Structure 1
Amino acid sequence: MKQHFSWMIAAGMIILGACQKSVDNPSQEDPKIIINKDAASLQKRVSKDGTGVITMNTSENGRKASAFAKSTEDTAQSNQYPLELIAEVAPPSYQGMDLRATNVDIEGNYAYVGYNREGATYLGGVSVFDISDVQQPKLIAEAIFPSTDISSVKFYQGKLYVSGATNLDKDTSFNSPAVVGYVTISNGIPTGDFKLFDVPGQVATDIAIANNKLYVASGSNGGLSILNLSSFDGEAYVSSEDLRAVTVMTNKIAVLSGTKGITTFTSAAELIRNITMPVDIAETQRNIDSYGDYLLVAAGKNGVQYYNSNSGEKTGQLDLPTDLPSDIDPEDVVTNGVSNNEGLFFAANGAAGLYLTKPTSDNALELLGSLDLNGSANYIKSSGNYIFVANGKGGLKIIKFTEPNKVTNSCGNNYPAYTGSSWLNVNSNDKLYYSGSAALQGVNVNDVLYFCGSMTVQNQFNINSNGVFDIHGSFAFGKYRGNTTMQVNGTWNIEGSVVIYGDLNLNSGATMNFLGSGSSITIYGKVTKNNGVTINGTFTDTENKLK
């Protein structure tokens, strides 16, 4: 295996390993990597258009794997999974060619997104997002690889490890197109230290790291390569057809093949077990994830599958939806990716959007709900409070996710969770107290509504003249430029964080009380403040809309 690296500074960017292009253009330089740290320019690709509260369909229809269930105003039941689409990100472009997102890794305050170019052109990239502010992800740096696709990214101990395929016509020092390597990272920013190494195969589809080893899956004449993480020396290699993905478990390695299913190995590449699966479409993107001793599989046209890695038994499966609207081609409905977020599983189903599922006590899969994203979901990664979804146009959707089990009850009470209709009406003489998390379509308050936890409301919120709404925790409302307006005629008590994607009308007699210290409010829409409005307390107005 070869390595190559050199670097130089040019035009405000770091350009590494300059050499000549193919014989078609022998006089032109072909940089191996171009690093852009102009955060102000990069941030222009991050858009608020279309953002706001989104609601998962957890109705009976939304929990049927055979049905396509959009999240609409008619969804009768509330649910405990607050979601906010907080950003849409256009893909990077190089010489007029747009890339598409292929892989995401999230580590600490940063998210790293890999890109490639579909078709015959070798072209890839990596974007770095600062996600320290869960409400405001920032695109702070980017690396473009003009002659190398990026299939997978993984951050580990100050380096961003990458895998992909490089154009041998542009660099004959490699023995095969499949490559792995790293870019050194400092405070989330690529520094310019960059190396690539070749492995057998046409493309290195995925990587995993454990025990100072780099595990590499390569498809088409490739296999599983085990490399020393420090030296990149090869320690073991197992030939295998059409490998799509690799994941590290507690005491084993698992790889996914499009032709042979799942194979598990020891850390030294000794065979443990073969798990047969139906043959998949050749050379398409799929992945696997693990949860304890179980493997979660994006099984293409076979939906989501769940296997016991010790016995090889398939214990759970969620089929793809078949009851599709007329404007969706069944060929575009396919499970491309899966992600485990501490026992909650997400699946990207192409034109059918997302599934949320979890394992049951007997290790089957329970479908909790579905989410339509008005586009094709081609890859998914969920970690902590984030869901990153690669969409059909090449860009990203970034979703804020609140896990019910992690909602903090700061009120010191034992109020029940809200489990009623997605349209919550508080009648006169009603005094309702709830805690936990709730995702709603609309709320109408005529008396007292006290909520401790996390609440999202998608379409309508009215606090009428005798109404009192207390929120202690987090609250989000509306759609950005989506014709949603929160009406306040009564009293709104706030302790925590509030985000209003739509407009806010503070009508005569309205009162906003910010309790304690540390509360914040973010309003992206228009604020109308009429005469006789009172705002009390200390708070941070991030967009300066309440002056």
Structure 2
Amino acid sequence: MKQHILALLGFAVILGTACNKSNNDNPTEDPKIIVNTDAAALAKRISLDGAGVLTLESTSSIARKAKGEFAKDGDQASQYLLELVAEVAPPTYNGVQMRATSVDINGNYAYVSYNREGEVYLGGVSVFDISNIQQPKLLSEALFPSTDISAVKYFNGRLYVAGATSVDKDPSFTTPGIVGYVDIANNIPTGNFKFYSVPGQVATGLTILNGKIYAVSGATGGLSVINASTFAAEKYVTSADLRSVVGMTNKVAVLSGTNGVTTFSTVGDIIKNIALPTDVAEAQRNIDAKGDYVIVAAGKNGVQYYNSTSGAKTGQIDIPAVPTGVDPSDVVTNGVSYNNDGLFFSANGAAGVYVAKEGANNSLELLGSLDLTGSSNYVKSAGNYIFVANGRGGLKIIKMTKPTTNLCGNTYPSYTGSAWLNVNSGEKKYYSGAAALQGVNVNDVLYFCGSMTVESQLNINSQGVFDIHGSLAFGKYNAGTTMNVNGTWNVEGSVVIYGDLTLNSGAKINFLGSGASITIYGKVTKNSGVTITGTYTDTFNKLK
């Protein structure tokens, strides 16, 4: 690698509020930025198609599938609960659809960047309100008709971006690669922005650490170190085919398709280089970090986990087996993400998303696989959210509930049985914790304290009593899943029904305590002789 200092004069700047180009009076000229805050129009991009309970496929089930075998009813229930709460269509401009490229999360807000593959320069940034995990809202977006946006980061009230712009449309840029920022007020883009040229055809990623921007550019680019306040260039290190950068404690790590992982000091000096298996040139990949360890999306080599100080590889997860009827080239690890609650995620193209945790000696332990419609090209997880960019360009937003401890003050054991829970007549079963189930059939007493999801079947028969103290999610939207209640259902906490609810004659629902809520997305069939008691919030007024 060759190092040299970037001259400040090498930067070009474009002001979003000052677009006085010589051909500005051309009525067909694209605007520099388009800000959309039309709540009704933006809301139409969020869909419930596919929404509902998801199953984290167990490692044993994954192994059977690789052999062409089917799942078994005796598969153990998972303790990781997952719900697809929304799908979001990507923005379009003049009929051209973009694709999601990155996600950054800050508190109750998520920021998503977009670009357009191929020769067309087109990108944008969307802002989501995720304060209500069940109902994310698309608040606003800024579109750039002549600029791709590869990555976005929130910092100090601004959205910092990396990407590429058309030098044909604006020759004031010295190279297509750009970094810059978009001003926001109350998380709404104001229309004011600045872009600066950086070496390379496209800036593929950025991170911000100690008041400095570390931006990487692919192909013939490198690592740029820039003051985040003044955008003064402080250092530039050439390196081929850079894909991604992540901030760590007092250093950054970059991923190159040819040079592996390299760590740098905060002033841009090389600390360590870690060689990786050969990858496809200029393919989409990224890197993330947990403490002093880096997790790498390594394409056909799956997920790689390294100690960034020693360079030792301590963990690896191979790519999944190729599903029947899928092109092998479509099964590749494109993206990785570490959630600070201890989970790792990898986007594996047509094979969905893997979920893992750190095992003994800093290894990686696969927990299961999430089978999603379409191709999973990017993943980002923080808190209780998982964002997955799919092959059609949009986003899947997934709610995650991690294993919980007993909050009811009883001594009931965690449920560790089959994914199909059956309570026969004469049986009384009491459990706590978290359980992701395929089906539940209650003929006597089932008491559950904690969090439960049920994907396919949920029946409370005439002599059955089902107590849920905590949270329950059931079914899938518009997929023919129906919860049937013939007996007694006691609810303390929150319930979400993505499918339908049938309350037959004699059915009883008792909402206990204060703060109970029920959200039903499907239809409700309420026969005569149904009793509903207690105080509760009915989100869509379906029980009246």
Q: Which residue matches 1:339?
A: 337
More deviation, 108-117/189-198:
189-198
Q: Which residue matches 1:325?
A: 323
Answering whether residue 13 of structure 2 is matched by residue 3 of structure 1, we say: yes
Per-residue CA shift, 1:462-521, capped at 9, x if unaligned? 011111111111110001011011011111111111000111011111111111111110
Answering whether residue 50 of structure 2 is matched by residue 50 of structure 1, we say: yes
Distance across 1 between alignment mates of 2:72 and 2:37: 42
Q: Which residue matches 1:272?
A: 271
Secondary structure at 1:29's aligned position in 2?
Answer: coil
Structure 1 position 430, deviation (Å): 1.5
Structure 1 position 396, deviation (Å): 0.8
The code of the aligned residue for 2:155 comes to Y
Secondary structure at 1:60's aligned position in 2?
Answer: helix
Distance across 1 between alignment mates of 2:67 and 2:149: 32
Structure 1 position 173, deviation (Å): 1.1
Structure 1 position 531, deviation (Å): 1.2
Distance across 1 between alignment mates of 2:303 and 2:272: 21
Structure 1 position 17, deviation (Å): 3.1
More deviation, 50-59/35-44:
50-59
Q: Is the 8 A contact 1:442 1:459 kept in 2?
A: yes
Pairing of 1:156-167 with structure 2 (within 5 A): 156-167=155-166
Q: Which residue matches 1:11?
A: none
Secondary structure at 1:62's aligned position in 2?
Answer: helix
Pairing of 1:503-542 with structure 2 (within 5 A): 503-542=500-539
Secondary structure at 2:199's aligned position in 1?
Answer: coil
Pairing of 1:50-199 with structure 2 (within 5 A): 50-62=50-62, 67=66, 74=73, 76-199=75-198
More deviation, 232-241/428-437:
428-437
Structure 1 position 63, deviation (Å): 6.3
Change (3 A) 1:142 1:133: same
Secondary structure at 1:40's aligned position in 2?
Answer: helix
Q: Which residue matches 2:251?
A: 252
Answering whether residue 504 of structure 2 is matched by residue 494 of structure 1, we say: no
Structure 1 position 213, deviation (Å): 0.6
Distance across 1 between alignment mates of 2:94 and 2:73: 45
Q: Is the 8 A contact 2:456 2:481 kept in 1?
A: yes
Distance across 2 between alignment mates of 1:212 and 1:295: 22
Answering whether residue 443 of structure 2 is matched by residue 433 of structure 1, we say: no
Over the matched positions of the two proteins, sequence identity in percent amounts to: 66
Q: Which residue matches 1:413?
A: 410
Secondary structure at 1:466's aligned position in 2?
Answer: coil
Structure 1 position 314, deviation (Å): 0.9
The code of the aligned residue for 1:262 comes to V
Distance across 2 between alignment mates of 1:345 and 1:453: 24
Answering whether residue 289 of structure 2 is matched by residue 308 of structure 1, we say: no
Secondary structure at 2:360's aligned position in 1?
Answer: coil
Distance across 1 between alignment mates of 2:189 and 2:368: 38
Q: Is the 8 A contact 1:21 1:28 kept in 2?
A: no
The code of the aligned residue for 2:13 comes to Q
Per-residue CA shift, 1:404-454, capped at 9, x if unaligned? 1xx364311232111110000011222211111110000001111111111
Distance across 2 between alignment mates of 1:457 and 1:445: 13
Distance across 1 between alignment mates of 2:418 and 2:108: 36
Pairing of 1:375-414 with structure 2 (within 5 A): 375-404=374-403, 407=404, 409-414=406-411
Q: Is the 8 A contact 1:201 1:223 kept in 2?
A: yes
Structure 1 position 305, deviation (Å): 0.4
Distance across 2 between alignment mates of 1:524 and 1:270: 55
Distance across 2 between alignment mates of 1:473 and 1:208: 38
Distance across 1 between alignment mates of 2:490 and 2:311: 54
Q: Is the 8 A contact 2:73 2:420 kept in 1?
A: no
Q: Is the 8 A contact 2:303 2:316 kept in 1?
A: yes
Q: Is the 8 A contact 1:161 1:182 kept in 2?
A: yes
Distance across 1 between alignment mates of 2:160 and 2:69: 37
Structure 1 position 144, deviation (Å): 0.7
Distance across 2 between alignment mates of 1:92 and 1:104: 15
Answering whether residue 441 of structure 2 is matched by residue 444 of structure 1, we say: yes
Change (3 A) 1:72 1:482: farther
Indicate the RMSD between aligned Cα atoms, in angstroms: 1.8
Aligned length: 533
Distance across 1 between alignment mates of 2:68 and 2:299: 19
Q: Is the 8 A contact 1:20 1:26 kept in 2?
A: no
Q: Is the 8 A contact 1:503 1:525 kept in 2?
A: yes
The code of the aligned residue for 1:273 comes to K
The code of the aligned residue for 1:354 comes to V
Q: Is the 8 A contact 1:150 1:163 kept in 2?
A: yes
Q: Which residue matches 1:369?
A: 368
The code of the aligned residue for 1:341 comes to N
Q: Is the 8 A contact 1:207 1:214 kept in 2?
A: yes
Secondary structure at 2:57's aligned position in 1?
Answer: coil
Q: Is the 8 A contact 2:320 2:348 kept in 1?
A: no
Secondary structure at 1:61's aligned position in 2?
Answer: helix
Change (3 A) 1:19 1:457: farther
Q: Is the 8 A contact 1:73 1:441 kept in 2?
A: no
The code of the aligned residue for 1:17 comes to C
Secondary structure at 1:528's aligned position in 2?
Answer: strand
Q: Which residue matches 1:484?
A: 481
Per-residue CA shift, 1:294-321, capped at 9, x if unaligned? 1000001110000010100111111112
Q: Which residue matches 1:29?
A: 29
Structure 2 residue ranges without an equivalent (≥5): 1-10
The code of the aligned residue for 1:399 comes to I
Q: Is the 8 A contact 1:69 1:372 kept in 2?
A: no
Q: Is the 8 A contact 1:180 1:198 kept in 2?
A: yes
Secondary structure at 2:43's aligned position in 1?
Answer: helix
Structure 1 residue ranges without an equivalent (≥5): 8-15
The code of the aligned residue for 1:312 comes to G
Per-residue CA shift, 1:113-164, capped at 9, x if unaligned? 1110010100001111111110001111111100000000111121111100
Q: Which residue matches 1:424?
A: 421
Distance across 2 between alignment mates of 1:238 and 1:44: 44
